[in-house]
Structure 1
Amino acid sequence: WMKGLVTRLHTRHIAYLHSPMRYVWDTFHSHPKLRSGFHFFKRLLLGYLRLWDKEAADRPDVLLVNSEYTRERVTKYYRRESEVVYPPVTFKQNDTSPATNPKISFLVVARLTPAKHIDVVIEAFNKLALPLTIVGAGPEAKRLRQLAAPNVVFVGKLDDTELLTRYKEARALIQSSEEDFGLVAAEALCLETPVIAYRPGAVREVVVEGKTGELFDDLAPESIADGVRRFIEREKEYDESLMLATGEKFSRERFEQLIRAHVD
């Protein structure tokens, strides 16, 4: 929303954008609050929101975005240039000691909402019969617990210390949603945990397929299961040094340096 700020004439306006409004430009047809009873008045409202959002995006002197994927969406919807400045990842390898427990369980870290497609991951792991730990809370929690086999464990929302431990002790992270950046995937790689992720979105800027993780093409249980099987086949071949290099690419120091370059 800050991109729409009206500034004084000589004020330099720099906006950092994580995403154009998805429910206005991309997912209005499937947004839970718009999907049912979608009629004439809601279409009018969407039209107004699109006009406002486009006008607001024209106001900043400099528009910074969190990924190449978001930059492409900005070009498509706003018809203007933007520059990528990747957000910082706070979890770093040197912030923690090595994992004390063996890496046995796969890991999901997400808010439990329909947009994250955790139900499809659960279906895949029900069939694979491999251990899966799900970190997060949300409106889908009750339904997802009912879908899960005994090998799927829910631990709720964790603080940063507990979450860091889960990352370190995970065999691999599973990401099943289209993300504008993919902070969770970047956090996992910084802690030497490979990632198995849904290909669309910015995750391709984070995960190097076959070297730091695997990508799958469809939000279907078998597609996820195939990604897990490919991971297991290559598990000993992943490049830990390349994972750690993720920390440099998404470091706080680099982020601050690039932001200061625009401010100064």
Structure 2
Amino acid sequence: MSKLKVALIHDWLTGMRGGEKVLEAFCELFQEADIYTFIWNKGRVSEKIERHKIYTSILQKLPFSKTKYRYYLPIMPYLIESFYLKNYELVISSSHCVAKGIKVKKGIPHICYCHTPMRYVWDLYDDYFGKGKTNFFVRTAMRFLRGYLQKWDIKSSFRVTHFIANSKNVKRRIEKYYGRDAVVIYPPVDISAFPEKRKKDFYLVVTAFVPYKKVEIVIDAFNRLKYPLKIVGTGPEERKLRKMAEKNIEFLGWIDNFKLKEYYAEAKAFIFPQLEDFGITAVESLAAGTPVIAYNKGGVTEIIQDGETGVFFDKQTPESLISAIKRFEKMSFDREILKKKAYYYRKERFINEIKNFIETEIKF
């Protein structure tokens, strides 16, 4: 399998988040693969990815593309279709936006590892483009463009020969929007080298500051509770969130992996307020022996068991979160049970399941 001529497709290479960890695992499996992407901010992803030959689109040369690439969403279908792959034996797209829409010569198998159907135009449209989420001109433009992008998203799904979903949650959305079946293979999570630390009296959030992550709910709740909260992350909503926060809330920016693992291990609990496709940070928290307080919808419900590895809250409101935190504080959790739950999601399991899928499902 390692000798196959493989192309890997990824929407953009601008940081090491969950999708990039999946791409990194594909790079380990196919060490000579070429990578195609809209834009690559050199030095922002791992060496395991950057050692590959990387082809970028014209977006790489357009104004403000390194930081404002999401504003080019309306032309992304055109940009992904500007690539035409014909000299490969296998194409694998790691897609949460439009990567799955790449054009491939007939007869070449195309596996899409789908993190989600294009969330901006489907179930999270209001979180990105609703009133108060962006300016009037962007909202107006998206009202006209949404239908076009939805039609393109459905049409381009038929270029994929095999879908893999990163959770049962995403499998259901693939069936709903594309009318396609998908095999579920959970993404890889780095569960190694979490230190043994004495628990401290703070709660932890690790996230990007974008609308659907619902960080404002957590800040509002902790402003009322006055409990210590540490927030790791950056993003376009950072200024607004910092203005909301009181003195018991500390913003740490993005920190190195070693220090992040220490925070995971020391935290009293990890807060997960968003509706997420899967929930890699929740698994990382379990690997550190830290329970998770999570919104009771989406992929995280496949990871957390209420009362055993964490606590759920049912509404994305400060009141519902506060109620869950107060319930959590009356409970105790076994760190070894949490770590055992996280072990399943290790990278080796992911790579083996992908290899088995290709060997059994793809005819070369």
C-alpha distance in structure 1 between counterparts of 2:134 and 2:122, whole Å: 13
Among 149, 154, 163, which residue is 2:246 paired with? 149
Gaps of 5+ in 2: 1-97, 360-364
SS at match of 1:233: coil
**After the TM superposition, which of the residue ranges 172-181 and 105-114 deviates more from structure 2?**
105-114
Tell me what 2:191 maps to: 91
SS at match of 1:25: coil
CA contact (8 A) 2:128 2:211 kept: no
Q: Given the alignment of the two structures, is residue 248 of structure 1 paired with residue 343 of structure 2, yes or no?
A: yes
For 1:251, give the aligned amino acid: R
Tell me what 1:118 maps to: 215
Q: Given the alignment of the two structures, is residue 104 of structure 1 paired with residue 211 of structure 2, yes or no?
A: no
C-alpha distance in structure 2 between counterparts of 1:213 and 1:255, whole Å: 24
Q: Given the alignment of the two structures, is residue 133 of structure 1 paired with residue 244 of structure 2, yes or no?
A: no
CA contact (8 A) 2:194 2:287 kept: no
Gaps of 5+ in 1: none
Tell me what 1:68 maps to: 168
CA contact (8 A) 1:91 1:164 kept: no
Tell me what 2:32 maps to: none
C-alpha distance in structure 2 between counterparts of 1:60 and 1:85, whole Å: 17
Cα root mean square deviation, aligned: 1.8
Deviation at 1:249, TM superposition (A): 2.0
- When the two structures are superposed, what TM-score results if normalisation uses the length of structure 1? 0.91
Give identity over the alignment, percent. 38
Alignment of 1:1-264 (within 5 A): 1-32=98-129, 36-37=136-137, 38-39=139-140, 42-92=142-192, 95-99=193-197, 101-234=198-331, 236=332, 238-264=333-359
C-alpha distance in structure 2 between counterparts of 1:3 and 1:143, whole Å: 33
Deviation at 1:148, TM superposition (A): 1.7
Q: Deviations over 1:222-260 (max 9, x none)?
A: 1111110111111x2x24333122333211111011100
Deviation at 1:208, TM superposition (A): 0.7
Deviation at 1:44, TM superposition (A): 4.2
Higher helix share: 1
CA contact (8 A) 2:228 2:249 kept: yes
CA contact (8 A) 1:28 1:34 kept: no
* Moved segments of 4+, more than 3 Å: 32-35, 41-44
Q: How many residues align?
A: 258
Deviation at 1:35, TM superposition (A): 6.8
**After the TM superposition, which of the residue ranges 174-183 and 113-122 deviates more from structure 2?**
113-122
